[in-house]
Structure formats: C-alpha cells, structure tokens
Structure 1
Amino acid sequence: MISLKTFKRYTTCLISNKYIKIGLCLHSISFMAGLIIGLNFVFTEYHYFDFPAFYRSGNLIFSDLNNLYNLSSYPGVYFRYLPFSALLYSFLSLFPIEIAFVLNAIFKLIINLLVVILMTYLYEHFYSKNGSLDKYFYSLLFAYLVFGAHVIDYVQGQPNPYLAFLLLITLYFFESSKRKPKKRFLYNLMGGLCLGIASSFKLTLFIILPFVLIYSLQNSDLKINISRLLGVFLIIIINGFFFLIQPKILSDFFILNLEGGFSYLECSFSISITRMVINSFGFFEIHISPMLIMIIFLVPFFLLVFNQYLKNYNKNKLLPELFSLALFIPILVYIDVWSYQYIISFPFILLSMGRLNENLYTFEDFHPQIYNNAKLNLDQTKKIVNLMDIYIWDLLPAFFFFILQIPALNIFYTVFSLILFVRFYNFYKHKFYYDFNDL
C-alpha cells in the first residue's frame, strides 16, 4: 500500500499546484452548499432525498430485517441496495440523523480528496509512460474536484465517492498484482473484496465482474481468476446470509430493483435509455415489463463491449479504460440512473484521457494518421467531458421535475453518455490507449 511518506509527498505536490488550489476552493463551496441544503431538508423533515433511506436501513438491518425493503418503512425515498451496505450505514444510525448527515458529508469530503490523491498515484506509477505528472493531468484532477454533480451528491447523501474510491483501490490491487508475483493472490483477493463491497452499494457495479474475472475464452478455454472471484464471493456470502435468515427480503429486493418500485413521475429524471423508453410507453399508456426493456438494451451493449475485451485481451493493459467502458453500460441501460452517479465513473474516464493524451504527443512524428484520428476523438471527448463537468444541463429538466412536478426527460446526459460510450469504444477497439511502440 501507499506509505505515509509517499502520501505526504503527493499531498504536498498537489496542494502546490494552482489548478488543485482553485479546485479545492471550489469543491469546498460545493461541500458547504450541499451541507446547508441537505441539513435544511433534514431539519424540515423533507424525506424525498436519499440519505434518510440509508440512515433508516442502518436501523432496520438489526432491528427489523424483514422490513428492510418494505416501502412502508420509508416515508420518502426507498432503500434498494444489498444488505451489506445497510450494515455499513448502521454506524451512522447510532447518531441522531442531523449529526449522521454531517458526519456522512465530512466522510465524503475526505474520500473525495483521497480519490484525487489515489488517481495521482495510479497515473504516475502505472499509466504514465514517463512516470510523471503533466499539466493536462492536473487539469483532469481539477475537473473531478469542480464536477457540479458533487453538490447534488452532498445533498442526497449518496455513497458515490465511496464507490469511486473503492473501485480505484480495486484498480490499485489488480495493477499491483501484475508487478508483485509473490503477492499476486493477496492483491487479487483484496481487489475482489473491494469490488464486492462497492457492488453491495450499487448492484450495477457487478457489470465489471466478467471483465476482471474471465481472462480467456479462446478455443473454448475458459479461465477465471479464482483469487478475484474469492474476494467478491466473500462479500456475496455476507449478503446471502441476510437473505438466508429472512428469505422474504430477497423477493422484495428484486421486485424493487428490477421492476422499478417507482412511479412514472418519480423516475422520469433518470438518464438511462431504458427509463426514457419506459416513460414514452407510459405516456401512451403502453404497458411492457421494465425488466424486459432493460434486458433488450443490456444484452447488445454488454456483448459489444465484452467481445472487444476478449479480442484485445492478449495486450490488455487497459483496466481504467475497461472500467470506464463497462460502467457506461449500466448508465445507459439500468432503469434508474441519475446524472450525479457519474461521480463513480468519472475518475476512470479522466485516467483514460490522461493516458491517451500523453501517448498521442509522444507518437505524433511516427504515425501521423493514427495520431490525427486519435487526437480528433480525444478533442471531441474533452469537449463533452467539459460540458458534463459544468452540470448546468440538469437545471432545465430539474425545474420541471422538482418545481413544477412535471415529468421531464433528462435527455442531455443521455446524449452525453451515448457520445462518450461511442468514443471510448472507438478508443478501445483501435487500441489508441496502448503504448504506440507496441503497435
């Protein structure tokens, strides 16, 4: 793991950079704004935001497990995650909800800062060809800090920064396992544990599993990384224990997550293609299973990405890019996805862009055709990410949704997501992330 000396070096390096200084100031404003708005919700007993559901689940996991997924247990937003995540929130449930909300916000602030440090460490040690940080990468760290979604995330009390951090730790362990063969089993096991914990908070993160567990299907030769699987399986066992002692909550869990459990109005702000199709059918009073619609979109997106993963496996050094591409799938196809959940995948998008940007400019004079193609793609991707970073695109649909209580499709981030998916798929397919000397 990162030593204290290394941690101090990175901290000193980051806070001495002007981009990071400005980013930290702006992020502090996001934190204070989110804290004030969220506390106002708490004190006025407004229940239609996420934190009360997490807080309540922390109580129910021990006191009334049978009603963990009972909609009547929650006055506003419902708890829809695996039991292990409720177990982790049980600590905050020991405090009054006002104190618990503040503690959760402070924890998230600290985690967001650790995400920036961990991104820096991963880039310098694993992904930079020169083993150094350039000006563009600092601008990417700035982009994470000033991402407008952080304000909404602090208000909602969502665990998204925790999950980004857990997935980055997963990335660290998986990358370290390649460099330290003697500790390969331990690192893969720990990476699997972190991935399992993250997936307990967001069921959609299980989409990453096939890409990090299955590493060869050539000539019908199925190979699975057992140590990574074991790490994930340990967390699954803990979740399974709760379902075993109270089987009713298993059916409640799947009904709530796969059938939606929400009205047409409540979920219309979702950015997924699936939700937009469901809402369109609902507008015309056409009734089709939401789960069926989700599967119709999930299968082609997954097969498209997984097929490229298997084709490129022999030279596959692309875990950040692979995580980015895999995480686009649930954003596009899961029933209920809101734009602030991009906080989870944003670090991997930024790491990928940093590596591609560095590779391009070291290769400009040798393969101009590849360079021009990749540069055009990267420049367009930068513009989309910059537009997403501002986060103003949620304001118009949010006005209709929250103020006027009129269903409004949040189409801007759906379009951004589709464009980014196509770009990242193109990068991955044409191997623009690889060390160009290997092509």
Structure 2
Amino acid sequence: MFDMIISGGTVVNADGEARVDVAIIGEHIAALLGPGDAPQARVVIDVAGCHLLPGLVDAHVHLREPGLTHKEDFESGTRAAALGGVTAVLDMPTDEPWTATADQLADKMAMARGRIHVDVGFQAVLARDLGLAEKLLSLRPVSLELFTADVPGAFRFQTMDDVANTMRRLAGCDTVIGISPGDQSILEGSAISHPAGDIAAFLDSRPPLAEAGGVARAILAAAETGSCIHVRQINSVLGISTWRRLRELADATVETTPQNLFFNAEDYRTAGAKLKGSPPLRGARDVAALRAALSDGLIDIVATDHAPHSPAEKAMTYPAFADIPGGMPGLQTLLQTMLILVEEKVIGLPDLVRMCARNPARRFGLDRSKGAIAPGRDADILVVDQRRPSVISNVEQASRAAYTPFDGWQAPATLTRVFLRGREIVRNGAITAAASGRVIQREI
C-alpha cells in the first residue's frame, strides 16, 4: 500500500508530459501509475485537470544570512520560495562574512537547520587563499564560486592567469565552479571616465563587452584545465553570441534571470532603484535575443538572483546610481514569470521544468533526489491549475523586500499546492506546515 497517491493530473518532466498518477511512500516517489491501475493508498488527492511539476530548483539565491538579516533571512526567504513553488534553494556565499572557510560554511548550515521551509544547498566562495578549498569541499557545497570583478580583492580573480591557475588547482575535484563574468579593468576605467554616476555611467561600467569577455575567459580556461563550470547570468547580444560560439569547447552551462527576459534599460526611467542590479538591464534588442536563445535551448538554467534589500535601503537617495544596493526579490515569482513565457509560446512546460528543475539539479549535484517526478526522487511536487489565472502583487510577497518588480502582472495559472518530500507545505497561497526544509549537499 502507498502512503499517498496524487491522482488525475498530467505530470510534466523535462522530456515531456504524461497523464499518470504519482504514488508516494514516505518522502519519495514510489511509482508512476497508469490511469487504469487501481492501487491502494492511505490518502488519495484528486488533482484532475491540473499539471504536476517537480519542485523548482533556484540555483542563484541570496538569503542574506548571516550578517544581513535586515534584508532577508533563512525563514523569510524560504517562506517566499515555498509560496512560489521553489522547493530547493541554492544559496550564494556573499553574506557577512562571505562563506569562504569550512568553519563559516558549517556555521551557516547550522544556522539554517530547523528554520527553513524548503531544502537549501550552500555555495561557497573561492578566496585568493586557495588552501581553504580542500576543507570546504569536505562539506560538499553545491558549488565553489569564482568572481572576476566588482568584489573585494580577497575574492577577486581578475586576469586570465588568475582564473586558469585557480581552475588548474581544483582539477579533479568533484565540484562545479560558478563564474560571474565581468572585467575589473572596465569598471575602473569607467569610474574615471564617467564620474557623474548617472544611469548611463552605470550601464557603461558594465557593458556587453565585459560580459562577453568574461564568458570567453571562463570557457577557454575551463577548456584548458578540464574544469566543470557554470556561467552566471548573461543578458546581452554579444554575451549570447560568444556563448553560442564557444560553449562546446568546455564542460560549461549558463544561466539567465526572469528580469532580464522581461525588462530593459528603458524601465529604469520608471522603476529605478527597484530594478537596479548587476548585470544591468540591456536594450530591447538584447531582450529579444535572450528570449530567442531561450527558445533555441541555448540557455541551460533560469535562476532568479534573488537578492533582496530592505524597503528603506531601496528608497534612500544615493550620490550615484551605482551606489543603490543592487538586486531584487525573485524567489516567489519564478514559476509565475516562467508560466508567462509559456503562455507567450517562448517556451513549453517541459522547457520550464528543464531550465528550472532538471538542469539545476543535475548541474549542482542534486539530481538523484531533485529535478524530476520519477521513482526514487524526493516527492517535491507542484500542483498547477492552468484554468485559474493569478495576479502577482506586492502585498502577497513574503520576502523582506516587500515588493516584486512584477507587481500587477497576470500569470496564466495558479499554484494550488506544494509538496516537499511528500508533505504538503503550501495550499492555495498559504503555508500549511512548520518549517521542514533540510540542508542538502552535493551528492556523492
């Protein structure tokens, strides 16, 4: 006998859709059953007419703890994730302090336990002292992050020699290296040539040339050293073209974000600080090229770069546009914005699952448990009703940022239920269970 059967829905995986029932024993999916099967279960949940998606895996999130909890913390950020159907959050290391040592990573894991509403995996940062990496890897973070620009010197690898030598030192390690493409020399040159600090100066300080150069440097260094890399968000025509031409040279994947698929630099005129982040928004032509790349399967992962700030911080007046704290919330709206792209026929539902569940689980070493509705996987399941549109609103956001750049937008479906390892945690927009998320690690 099964513990639970979710009956009557259409299961969506990265490889397609099927009208099957999902049988669950304990925390795991036990079987996918044909409509004619008649097994016994302690609980049967009828979701006729709905689609069942695997819980989403957001590969680029800043939960802001420790040290920055006025912006977000483990509880508020994972509450937003649960309400949005993200059942696995991969947290970035840029808190206070940055997660650069095994002790810092262990402390962060301990802080999260018992307080998170969804599962959380942690990403650690590579410091210039590469001797720290061995002990970090013993705790199985889901990635090691390498930064090339716009970060403190202790964490900056700004030359090709820096990047290649770092990858060479890590050769043979079971990890993926996340790389944020950028060019410190352009940042420094722009600060001299554009002292005014307006929006135009901010855009000039992080041009497509810096992104494309960073993408090329990362791929070539990975090709030379045999490294496994993941390139953080790209959003320009030049960056996409560079990725298209070079990606087969190395074991490399790439991501973008929903905000880069919907907004462009003209939107700074009305939204200003609420949309300020890095990389900056590009032109309408860049957005069109990014959407085309999404449709063509060139983008491996869509992640949010959820990076909230307090409302007071975003509302302050700053000497320069670049000084506005960069980042915006996104965890709670990832599914809804991706469903808008499905409605617009930019992607299909299996593409949504591929980019927001299967691929991030696979790339970050979690695909034995996450990323698909299949026997043996965690029973992380979303029930989506495409007969019921939903409206995104600021008032429903659980993040401490207390807003979303998509306020007022209509999504073509409603997320009615969320299951985490077979336990219902969300129903009809409300949390229904105490925090039961776990700290997850790269699977061996």
**TM-score, length-scaled by structure 2:** 0.26
Under a length normalisation based on structure 1, what TM-score does the superposition of the two structures give? 0.27
Higher RCO (CA-CA < 8 Å; seq separation 6+): 2
Relative to its length, the structure with more helix (as a share) is: 1
1 or 2, which has the higher strand percentage? 2
